[in-house]
Amino acid sequence: MSKETVEVLVEGGKATAAPPLGPALGPLGVNIGKVVADINKKTASFKGLQVPVKVIVDTDTKEYTITIGTPPTSQLIKKEAELDKGSSNPKDEKVADLKIEQVIKIAKMKEDSLTGKTLKDKVKEVIGTAGSMGVMVEGRDFKEALKAVNEGKFDSEISSGKTELSAEEIKALEEEKKKLAEEIKEKHDLFVKQAQAIIKENEGKEAHFIKTKLREAKIPEEIIKELMPEEDKKAGAKGAPKQKK
């Protein structure tokens, strides 16, 4: 009996026969359409998330088994926080907040793949990942949240294993996320105005010089790229960078 294993990452409920799945299954002689349908049925609950899937095929009988892994921790955090993406500047810009119950929920879902020995250790791993995405826990940045866990402030919640939130808690998190988004926009607009002033002040100088001035003023890199497209950098002293209106 010979077996072949195909491992892919698919969006929950949206696997197709397109690459990489179809071409990998084709040589194994299985009914690709049926495999895809079975995968979509098994991953339907992970809609919007990237899910690791393993298809084990018996090359003699053409029978197969499908095992579904859990999405990466970052994907689960985005789902709980209802985010499209994490923060581009997680140290200074926070995009969402999670309750400890949501962190416990993720830690339980990832129980087999996290390295911590206890649920408390696994919770700390999830908090670390959240911190790298600019997501707070209980209104704390990840360092303060880890400190709170180590001090036992969430021991009762972790021991109870509670993972559900009340309607009031969900509403409060949504309001906080809106507030954080507004703060990020205000910061962005302020940086843009500051950057535009620096660009205007140094009009006619080489792009490299202006870029250095912007960095000295601690203008975020994404704004520098936004206001100084690549073609302007190459132009150098031929002309001043275009200013975004």
User: How far apart (Å, rounded) are the C-alpha atoms in residues 75 and 90?
Assistant: 16
Looking at residue 237, its pLDDT comes to 41
Residue 231 has pLDDT above 70, yes or no: no
Residue 243 has pLDDT above 70, yes or no: no
Q: Coil, helix or strand for 5?
A: strand
Which residue in the block uniquely carries the two structure tokens 């969402």? Answer: 96
DSSP letter, residue 44: G
98 touches 77 (CB < 8 A):
yes
SS (H, E, C) 139-173: CECHHHHHHHHHCCCCHHHHHHCCCCCCHHHHHHH
Which among 62, 19, 17 has a CA at the least distance from the CA of 39? 17
pTM: 0.63
Which among 240, 229, 216, 224 has a CA at the least distance from the CA of 192? 224
Domains observed in the chain: 3-68 (3.30.1550.10), 73-165 (1.10.10.250), 181-238 (no CATH)
Looking at residue 221, its pLDDT comes to 85
Residue 66 has pLDDT above 80, yes or no: yes
Residue 14 has pLDDT above 50, yes or no: yes
Q: Coil, helix or strand for 96?
A: strand
* Mean per-residue pLDDT of the chain: 87
Please say whether the dihedral angle defined by the alpha carbons of residues 221, 85, 99 and 132, taken in this order, is positive or negative: negative
Q: Quote the tokens at residue 178.
A: 């809106």
Q: Do strands 3-11 and 50-58 pair parallel, antiparallel, or not at all (unpaired)?
A: antiparallel
Q: Quote the tokens at residue 32.
A: 């690709």
What confidence tens digit (pLDDT) does each residue in 147-200 have? 999 999 999 999 887 777 778 888 888 888 888 888 888 988 999 999 999 999
Query: How many CA within 13 A on the CB side of residue 217?
Result: 19
How many C-beta atoms surround the C-beta of residue 137 within 10 A? 24
Q: Quote the tokens at residue 242.
A: 């275009």
The region of weakest confidence among 50-59, 176-185, 217-226, 236-245 is: 236-245
> What is the b/e burial string over 101-110, where b = at least 16 CB atoms within 10 angstroms of the residue's CB?
bbbbbbbebb
What confidence tens digit (pLDDT) does each residue in 103-136 have? 998 998 888 788 889 999 999 999 999 999 999 9
